[in-house]
Structure 1
Amino acid sequence: MGRSRYPKEFKEQLIQEAQEVGNASQVARRHGIDPKLLHYWMKESKHKSFQEAPTEAKKITAYVPSAQEFKEMEVENIALKKLLGEKALEIQILQDLLKKTNPGYRRNLK
């Protein structure tokens, strides 16, 4: 059995009707098509404006921080690493203390 092709005008009419009614499944059943197909057409129609946009508008540029922002991030990164090291040391000290004060404690703390 071959696939059915629907004219563009028919698709647009069903999409508009589904948006007006607010129930795409009901509209699809009324016209004898699969509701999944109508949902696909609706999703596809939302992205048509992106497809028709010029290629220059589609370019996504990477964020490059300025020298000052980069320096601030480096300073913050160093401070966070220092804090992480202190917290790791604190946890290790507390685990050792727990082992010494409670020798029957068998939970693996690593």
Structure 2
Amino acid sequence: MSQSSYTPEFKAQVVREARETGNASLVARRHQLKPEMVRRWTREATKAAHPNPDALSLADENERLKKLLGERDLQLAVLQDLLRKKGIRT
């Protein structure tokens, strides 16, 4: 099979097998491929499934920041409550 004739379904199956077995060389041998090709396909599939975290959309970044702000506000409230219980003014 020439490189250009590998279907996306075939590549996905090879990647799935490589991930399940944890052995790209064994999967490559089973499908008469070069191990480097199986590793490359696996790497490419991982990249496609997990895009660059630095490329978050504005909405995703906004949600992340809202969550961090909420956590910070909760921490402040807990600390202020502890200070009040100790009789320390804030």
> Normalising by structure 2, what TM-score?
0.51
| Separation in 2, partners of 1:3, 1:16 | 19
> Where in structure 2 are there 5+ consecutive unaligned residues?
59-90
Aligned to 2:40: 40
Amino acid in structure 2 at the alignment position of 1:12? A
Once the two structures are TM-superposed, the CA of residue 13 in structure 1 deviates from its matched residue by 0.4
| Separation in 2, partners of 1:55, 1:22 | 30
**Is 1:12 paired with 2:12?**
yes
> Where in structure 1 are there 5+ consecutive unaligned residues?
58-110
| Separation in 2, partners of 1:16, 1:3 | 19
Q: How many residues align?
A: 54
| Separation in 2, partners of 1:31, 1:55 | 37
TM superposition outliers: structure 1 runs of 4+ over 4 Å: none
Amino acid in structure 1 at the alignment position of 2:46? K
Higher relative CO (Cα under 8 Å, sequence separation at least 6) belongs to 2
Closer, same or farther: CA 31–44 of 1 in aligned 2, 3 Å:
same
What's the secondary structure of 2:45's corresponding residue? helix
| Separation in 1, partners of 2:12, 2:48 | 12
Structure whose residues are more often helix by fraction: 2
Deviation track 1:9-57 (CA, whole Å, cap 9, x = no partner) reads: 1011011111111111011011001110000000000111318xx8736
| Separation in 2, partners of 1:24, 1:3 | 17
Closer, same or farther: CA 3–46 of 1 in aligned 2, 3 Å:
closer
Aligned to 2:26: 26
CA RMSD of aligned residues (A): 2.3
| Separation in 2, partners of 1:12, 1:3 | 14
- Identical positions, percent: 39
| Separation in 1, partners of 2:8, 2:40 | 14
